[in-house]
Amino acid sequence: MKSVRLHAARDLRLHDEPIPPRAADEALLRVTAVGVCGSDLHWYNEAGIGDARLRRPLVLGHEFAAVVADGPHAGRRVAVDPAVPCGRCEWCRDGHPNLCPHVRFSGHGEDDGALREFMAWPAQALFPLPDAIDDAGGAMLEPLGVALHTVDLAHVRPGMHIGVFGCGPIGLLTLQVARLAGAARLFATDLLPGRLDAARELGATDVLQADGEAHEESRAILAATGGRGLDVVFDCAGAQAAVDAAFDAARIGGKVILCGIPSDDRTAFVASVARRKGLTIKMVRRMKHAYPRAIELVARGLVNVRALITHRYKLEQAPEAFAVANRREGIKVMIEP
C-alpha cells in the first residue's frame, strides 16, 4: 500500500509499505477520505504539537472515513473516531474519555494515522455511515464532533448573543451548532474575506473583518451590542489577537471558550479584565460521545459540512494539499486515497 509520512517539518514523503496486520479487536480499513486539520498543520510546520514531538516518521491524519476491508462487516462504510481511550482510568470512569491520559490517537505520538491506503483500528471506534453522508462528509464528522463539544461546554441557550473568532472549519461548524442551540445573534470574525462569506452563508448575523488588532474587533462588537458584549465567545483561531478580542468582547459574567491551538503553546489574557467581568474560561479537549449526534445532524441536513470542503487531492498529492492548507486557501482540504 501507499502511505505518506512526515519526516521533519514540511517534509512529507510517499512510501510503499506492507498492509498492516490487525489485532483481534481491530478492523482492517480501506481509507477513503482524510481531512487536513489545523492540528495536522502544527505537526507539519513545527514537527510536533504542544509537548508532543516528532520522534520517527509519522503518518498524520485523524479526520477520516473508510470502508471495512475484511471480516463480517466487509464493505461497510464508516466514520472513524481517532481517539481510543483506555476505559479504565478515573477520567474514563467519570464519563470524560476525552481527558484520558492514556488515549491512543490516530496520527499522534506513536500511533500512525490515516494518510495511507489501509490501516487497522479498533472496531469500537467505527460508526456506520448512512447513504445520506458521502465519504468526505464522513471525514468531516470528527471536526463537527469537536464543535459539538465546544458548544456543549458553553451551555448556549436560546436568545444568546455569541461570537466565533476564527472561521476555519472548526469555527464554521461551531457557528452552525450554536445557531441550532438557539443563539439569536452570531458574530463571526476572521482575517480572510472568503471565510467571512462562508460564515454569512452558514448563519452568521454579523461579520467583522479582523486585522490583527484585537481592540478594533471588540470595539465594533461592543458598539453593535449597545456596550453589553457577548454572552459567549468561542476562540477558534488560537492567535493571541483573537484571544484578546474574545476577552474584551465578552459581557460581564460571560464565557470564553478556548478551542484554538496557539502555535507557541501559550495563551495569555489580561487578568484584570477577566476578573472584573467575572468571566468563565473553559478549554476544549477534543470531544466525547459526539459521533451519533454528528451523524444525525449531517444526515438530516441540519449542519452543512459539504460547503466547507473546497479542495480535494489524491494521496500522492499530499505535499501539495498540505501546502495549500498551510496557506489558508479555501476552507477544508480533503485527501482521498
What digits encode the pLDDT tens for the residues 90-146?
Answer: 999 999 999 999 999 999 988 999 999 999 999 999 999 999 999 999 999 999 999
pLDDT tens column, 240-253: 999 999 999 999 99
3-state helix, strand, coil in the chain (%, to 5): 35, 30, 40
Q: Which three cell numbers stand for residue 74?
A: 466487509
Q: Which three cell numbers stand for residue 204?
A: 452568521
Report yes or no: 168 and 189 within 8 Å, Cβ to Cβ. Answer: no
Neighbours of 179 (CB within 10 A): 20
pLDDT tens column, 298-318: 999 999 999 999 999 999 999
Angle, CA 169 vertex, CA 164 and CA 172 arms, to 5°: 40
Residue 62 CA neighbour count, 13 Å, CB half: 26
pLDDT tens column, 220-234: 999 999 999 999 999
Q: At 233, give phi and psi (nearest 5°).
A: -125, 130
- Give the residue range(s) of CATH 3.90.180.10 domains in the chain: 2-140+305-335
For residue 297, is pLDDT > 70?
yes
Q: Estimate to the nearest angstrom the gap between the alpha carbon of 81 and the chain centroid.
A: 12
For residue 47, is pLDDT > 70?
yes
Q: Mapping DSSP to helix (H, G, I), strand (E, B) and coil, where does residue 291 land? A: helix
Question: Is the pTM above the cut of 0.85?
Answer: yes
Determine which helix (DSSP H) or strand (DSSP E) holds 94, and give its type and residue range: none
For residue 215, is pLDDT > 80?
no
User: Which letter does DSSP use for residue 168 in this model?
Assistant: S
Q: At 148, give phi and psi (nearest 5°).
A: -60, -45
Mean pLDDT of 279-284: 97
Q: In terms of CATH architecture, what is 2-140+305-335?
A: Alpha-Beta Complex (3.90)
For residue 287, is pLDDT > 70?
yes
144-283 folds as Rossmann fold (3.40.50)
Share of the chain above pLDDT 90, in %: 92
Q: Mapping DSSP to helix (H, G, I), strand (E, B) and coil, where does residue 79 land? A: strand
For residue 254, is pLDDT > 70?
yes
CA distance 88 to 109: 21
Task: Specify which residues 269 forms β-bridges with.
Answer: none
CA distance 302 to 130: 15
- Give the residue range(s) of CATH 3.40.50.720 domains in the chain: 144-283
pLDDT at 265: 85
CA distance readout (Å), 108 to 17, 61, 154: 19, 9, 27
